[in-house]
Amino acid sequence: MSERTPFQAIVQTALGFGLSRCLHIAAELGVADHIGEQPASAEALGRAVSSDPDSLCRLMRVLCDYGIFQMNRDRFSHTPASQLLRSDHPQSLRSYVRMIGLPWFWGSYQHFEDAVRSGKPALEMVLPNGIFAHLAAHPDEARLFNEAMTGKAQADIPSVLSSYDFSGFQRIADIGGGRGHLLAAILDATPGARGVLFDLPKVIDAARDLTSERLELQAGDFFTDELPRCDAYLMMEVIHDWNDADSVRILSAVRRAAPAGAKLLVVELLIPEAVGPNIGALLDVAMMTLLGGKQRTGQEYEKLYKASGFRLDRVITMPSDASIIEGTAV
């Protein structure tokens, strides 16, 4: 593909939200579920998802132009990317994309200018009582949110397991670990280790079925409650929810519980030091819009670690593009 002209760069970027919406709607309609081994026509897909065939064809053409699906005349087939939109894919991202297309998520960007000017999350203008109060009142969206988080975790878990050796640890804590999918997978792959899943009481209640002789559940708030004493602390996509001051508070709480020499393993998508298109910077904007959190560079994590009593040892880039930021309690 030839390099974009300045005109193309501006116009394509200005209209780029249309690409996002095409993906949201394709996931909402379940289009990928209705494409099998043989290409499917726009007419057949339109009937399957109760949509106008011509309009659906135009939506799909955009996604094909960007490599999500493949188009041959008027028929559509799968690519490795579109397979991830299938509901039955073991690492399905369909619910994740549908969640991003929800009114409160997508609608927050209408107030993005306010977030930039004020430094406060735009989501506060859409959901004044907060996201979790909204989800409690909307069980269908809450179910989708949980499916999205689980699907995203399932995409990252194989990368974590293939990128890091946990066999040297006796007791591993997953702080803010949600329903424990990552910790359970690590314990399955590390027979000599035991684990502690730490999260808010309502989250721990939903993970009760994970309890075993090797997996302990501990409910609490990492801002106020004592954390378990372990020789490794895992935090996947937790720190990016918070600003720098609160991140230091969280990591300092981990350090108070951690014995000297304990490992801190933060799993996050880093912003690369080099300038260029990257998912990390886009996710950083999303965190600013929704939660007031941020994605960070490796150097920014080094500062957080130092301020919290940890030494940053290394950054391990995983196949999923996220990284394991390994530190040691000093």
- Which residues participate in catalysis according to the annotation? 240
DSSP 181: H
Q: Give which of 221, 232, 143, 223 is closest to 183, Cα–Cα.
A: 232
- Which phi and psi angles does 303 have, rounded to 5°? -65, -40
Round to whole Å and give the CA distance between 257 and 142.
Answer: 32
Q: HSE, CB side, 13 Å, CA atoms: give it for residue 324.
A: 22
Round to whole Å and give the CA distance between 135 and 45.
Answer: 32
Q: State whether the Cα torsion 180-183-188-191 is positive or negative.
A: negative
Query: 296-320: b or e for each residue (b if 16 or more CB lie within 10 Å)?
Result: beeeebbebbeebbbebeebbebeb
Round to whole Å and give the CA distance between 55 and 183.
Answer: 44
3-state secondary structure 129-179: CCHHHHHHHCHHHHHHHHHHHHHHHHHHHHHHHHHCCCCCCCEEEEECCCC
Q: Give which of 273, 316, 270, 282 is closest to 109, Cα–Cα.
A: 282
Round to whole Å and give the CA distance between 60 and 75.
Answer: 10
